[in-house]
Amino acid sequence: MTNALTTNPSVLAWIEEKIALTQPDRVMWIDGSNEQLEELRAEGCRTGELRKLNEEKLPGCYLHLSALNDVARVEGRTFICSEKEEDAGPTNHWMAPDKAYDLLYDIAKGAYKGRTMYIIPYSMGPVGSPFAKYGIELTDSIYVVISMAIMTRMGKEVYAALGDSNDWIRGLHCKCDIDEEKRYICHFPQDNTIISVNSGYGGNVLLGKKCFALRIASNLGRQEGWLAEHMLILGLERPDGTITYIAAAFPSACGKTNLAMLIPPELYREKGYKVWCVGDDIAWMRIGADGRLWACNPENGFFGVAPGTNMKSNPNALISTQKNTIFTNVVLNEDDNTVWWESLDKNPPKNARNWKGEKWDCTDGSKGAHPNSRFTAPAKNCPCISSEFDSPAGVPISAIVFGGRRAKTAPLVYQSRDWDHGVFVGSIMASETTAAATGAVGVVRRDPMAMLPFCGYHMADYWAHWIEMGKKLGDKAPKIFNVNWFRTDDEGHFVWPGFGDNMRVLDWIIRRCEGTVDANETAIGYVPNAEDINIDGLEDFDIETLKSILEVDKDLWAAEIDGITEFYGKFGDKLPAKLTEELETLKNNLK
Ligand code: OXD
Ligand code: MN
């Protein structure tokens, strides 16, 4: 093949096959160089796929507007195409692999005619590290190439690291006509292959992220004895310079990026506490030579939700977006060629275009940015990025935190009795819908380990894998906690201030990990004694208020048991016996 950047036979054979299928006019081997990326950015601006923003105010930044019907992940059109249906399990959509390949190849046939095939070599995890896994994505989208350059370690060094190995993830993306009816995001775990057609939206087409680093990687983790999780990773530095690492899973829209980049309240900052961000969305975790659990963020950038991000909610995220960032579906300020989104500040631009590219009048009550508008920003831009971000060994995890959005049931924080109980706590994770989201308030959506849309195999086998990991870790296992920042009072107002003040809860968590603070054993696990959570300096918040959100209401938990029993019912015989036992223990404890 002309200009090929590799001689790897499995790579060349696969690409040749896909060239024959998609019939591109041109083929471009992406080498990761800035020169090539600049050429592509300029080309993207010529075709209208990108708009270069104000170089002085937002250097190296671009705006991209997606098709109107293509603004989010599409769970209903996302399939796990395992050989056997039962391996996908009741929480995934399944399609038989033969049927899926036929359908997808039919759609992909000739899909690159008149277009260029870009061949993207990328690594999830630092190239050459024990965590790293390599992938090649074929795409006909410049937006995908320049986004992958931010979100992954992309470039020809990946071919050098791969050598002649066949151990890499195949990814084929075709924009086609962005036809919703023919949109499919399919995963073939037995072939390490992902095919995505008729979408241009990040979560569906940046194949390194949800498709590879979670759905395919969760399968690899199961086979190879590690975990691929939908978790942030942060390091909490104390005044003596020691750093404790925490991994935390929350469903979408529970503030994962904010927690990952938390700025401690002043009373902690004065003493020298700091939070370092290792990752905001995905953690790969392996047992290290010392027997502990070590975690690595396989990504290289943040694909964050823009609305709600501002200098108060998350200054570190906002600062991360001030250079070399791609904004998708936000407002264009035509006066100074910059961007805006709801709640960025109180000054919506007067002369503006909304995410649809239409003239937008901020006083007409419509939203200017799409609620799922995004920034794609290099992790290195983040002022609190951890010095261990590129560490080949990852970071040792002391605590795993699960969380959800519960008005009353879950207390502010509690600790599981042990690893297996912690797996139970993760498996029953749930969020209640808010009025803003659906109109139906308080509907509980179970989202075990925040992996509902991302676990690439049977969820009950996944829980069994977690239990196995606990056996291997033994007494070196991280402690497992659950947090709930979203308890409400009788008027429906949030009680806990959240944001930077979540540091006060993290502080308790790390003291529990090192065994320097006591706790109160309740039916659901260890709950803090109110005196042990530092509430100094919190306004309108006293120890009674704190006690009100540490309360475990037995009636609500009895109702919760019904919900859990119904949910567990879906998994039939595959449900690990340990989890049934944990449910029984909970029932007995509540009696
Ligand atoms: C994400 C998600 O985009 O979880 O990270 O939906
Ligand atoms: Mn996510």
Q: What pLDDT is stored for residue 440 in this prediction?
A: 62
Taking the alpha carbons at both ends of the chain, their separation in whole angstroms is: 71
Phi, psi (degrees; rounded to nearest 5) at 369: -95, 150
Pocket of ligand 1 (CB under 6 A): 73, 203, 252, 281
- Average pLDDT on 123-131 reads 97
Q: Closest ligand 1 atom to the C-alpha of 281?
A: 5
- The Å distance, Cα 283 to ligand 2 centre, comes to 11
What is the token pair recorded at 99?
Answer: 């049927």
Which residue CA neighbors atom 3 of ligand 1 most closely?
Answer: 203
CA distances from 42 to 45, 142, 439, 498 (A): 5, 10, 44, 42
Q: What three-state secondary structure class fits 196?
A: strand
Which of ligand 1's atoms lies nearest the C-alpha of 209? Answer: 5
Cα(523) to ligand 2 centroid in Å equals: 31
Of 234, 399, 203, the residue nearest 304 (C-alpha): 203
- In this prediction, residues 244-261 reach a mean pLDDT of 94
Residue 359, strand partner residues: 353
Q: What is the pLDDT of residues 27-74, one digit of tens each?
A: 999 999 999 999 999 999 999 999 999 999 999 999 999 999 999 889
In ligand 1, the atom with minimum distance to the C-alpha of 202 is: 3
Please choose, from the candidates 309, 317, 78, the residue with its C-alpha nearest in 3D space to the C-alpha of residue 203. Answer: 78
> Which of 71, 73, 212, 328 maximizes ligand 1 atoms within 8 Å of its Cβ, making it the mutation to test the pocket?
73
Identify the bridge partners of residue 375 per DSSP, sorted by sequence position.
304, 327
Question: Residues near 500 by Cβ (< 8 Å), separated by ≥ 6?
Answer: 262, 263, 264, 265
Looking at the DSSP bridge assignments, the partners of residue 246 are 234, 399
* β-strands 293-296, 78-80 pairing: unpaired
Q: Mention every residue, 6+ apart, whose C-beta is less than 8 A from residue 127.
A: 153, 157, 158, 161
Q: Is residue 103 within 8 Å of residue 90, measured between CB atoms?
A: no
Mean pLDDT taken over the chain: 96
Give the Å distance between the CA of 305 and the centre of ligand 2.
10
How much is the average pLDDT of 150-174? 98
Question: Residue 261: pLDDT above 70?
Answer: yes
Q: 264-272: long-range contacts (C-beta < 8 A, 24 or more apart)?
A: 264/500, 264/503, 265/500, 265/501, 265/503, 265/504, 265/537, 266/537, 267/534, 267/536, 267/537, 268/503, 268/507, 271/239, 272/237, 272/238, 272/239
- Is the pLDDT score of 438 beyond 80? no
What are the tokens at 397?
A: 């995890």
In this model, does residue 25 exceed pLDDT 60? yes
- Domains in the chain: boundaries: 9-49+77-225, 229-300+387-590, 301-381
- 3-class DSSP state of 416: coil
Q: 22 pLDDT exceeds 60?
A: yes
Encode pLDDT of 272-296 as tens digits: 999 999 999 999 999 999 999 999 9
Q: Is the pLDDT of residue 364 over 80?
A: yes
Cβ atoms within 10 Å of 78's Cβ, excluding its own: 22
Task: Tell me the best of 252, 282, 373, 429 to mutate to test the pocket of ligand 1, counting ligand atoms within 8 Å of each CB and taking the most.
Answer: 252
Please report the pLDDT score of residue 437 as a whole number.
44
Q: What average pLDDT does this structure show over 460-475?
A: 98
Q: What is the spatial distance between Cα 526 and Cα 521, in angstroms, rounded to a whole number? A: 5
Residue 13 pLDDT greater than 70, yes or no: yes
Amino acid identity of 332? L
Beta strand residue intervals within 41-82, DSSP E: 51-52, 62-64, 78-80
Quote the CA–CA distance of 73 and 211 in Å, as a whole number: 11
In this structure, the residue with its CA closest to atom 2 of ligand 1 is 252
Strand duo 116-124 + 26-29: pairing: parallel
Task: Please count the other Cβ atoms lying within 10 Å of the Cβ belonging to residue 101.
Answer: 18
Residue 61 annotated to the active site: no
| Contacts with 369 (C-beta within 8 Å, 6 or more apart), sequence order | 306, 307, 329, 330, 331, 340, 341, 342, 354, 355
Q: Ligand 2 mean position to 215 CA, how many Å?
A: 12
pLDDT band of residue 302 (cuts 50, 70, 90) is very high
Phi, psi of 241 (to 5 degrees): 90, -10
% helix, strand, coil for the chain, step of 5? 35, 25, 40
Q: Which residue has the tokens 């937008």?
A: 360
Q: How far is the CA of 542 from the centre of ligand 1 (A)?
A: 35
Where does 68-156 have alpha helices with state H?
85-88, 97-108, 142-151
What is the pLDDT at residue 473?
98
Alpha carbon of 531 to ligand 1 centroid (Å): 36
Q: How far, in Å, CA of 129 to CA of 2, rounded?
A: 30
* Residue bearing the CA closest to ligand 1, atom 5: 281
Structure confidence at residue 203 (pLDDT): 87
Name the residue with the closest Cα to ligand 1, atom 1. Answer: 252
Q: Which residue has the tokens 């040749």?
A: 16
Atom of ligand 1 nearest to the CA of 374: 3
Burial-class residue 479 by CB neighbours within 10 Å (0-12, 13-18, 19+).
buried
Which helix (H) or strand (E) element contains residue 264? none
pLDDT in tens, 166-214: 999 999 999 999 999 999 999 999 999 999 999 999 989 999 999 999 9
Considering every ligand atom, which ligand is closest to the CA of 72?
1
Gyration radius of the chain over CA positions: 24
Task: Report the alpha-carbon distance of residue 48 to residue 460 in Å, rounded.
Answer: 46
State which fold the 229-300+387-590 domain adopts: Phosphoenolpyruvate Carboxykinase; domain 3 (3.90.228)
- Cα(301) to ligand 1 centroid in Å equals 13
Q: Residue 281 belongs to what H/E stretch?
A: none
Mean pLDDT in residue range 579-584: 98
CATH 3.40.449.10, applies to 9-49+77-225: yes
The hierarchical CATH code for the domain 301-381 is 2.170.8.10
Of ligand 1's atoms, which has the minimum distance to the CA of residue 454?
A: 4
Residue 443: per-residue pLDDT? 85
Which residues have a beta carbon within 5 Å of ligand 2, which is an ion? 281
Average pLDDT over residues 137-158: 98
Tell me if 376 sits within 8 A of 301, measured CB to CB: yes
Q: Which ligand is nearest to the CA of 151?
A: 1
Q: Rounding to the nearest 10 degrees, give the CA dihedral for residues 438, 442, 448, 451.
A: 20
Q: Is 511 exposed, middle or buried (0-12, 13-18, 19+ CB in 10 A)?
A: middle
Q: How many residues does the chain have?
A: 591
Task: From residue 33, give the alpha-carbon distance in Å to each of 146, 337, 371, 389, 578.
Answer: 11, 27, 33, 22, 51
Using one digit for the tens of pLDDT, what is the confidence trace for 312-347? 999 999 999 999 999 999 999 999 999 999 999 999
| Integer Cα distance of 391 and 380 in angstroms | 13
The pick from 78, 281, 451 for probing ligand 1's pocket by mutation, whose C-beta has the most ligand atoms within 8 angstroms, reads: 281
| Ligand in nearest proximity to the CA of 230 | 2
Please name every residue paired with 231 in a beta bridge, in sequence order, or none if there are none: 249
Tally of CB atoms within 10 A around 302: 27
Separation of alpha carbons 108 and 117, rounded Å: 12
SS3 62: strand
Pocket test for ligand 1, best of 210, 256, 303 (most atoms within 8 A of CB): 210
pLDDT over 70 at 435, yes or no: no
Candidates 81, 186, 211, 254; catalytic one: 254
| CA of 303, nearest ligand number | 1
Whether 87 has a pLDDT exceeding 90, the answer reads yes
Cβ atoms < 10 Å from Cβ of 390: 17
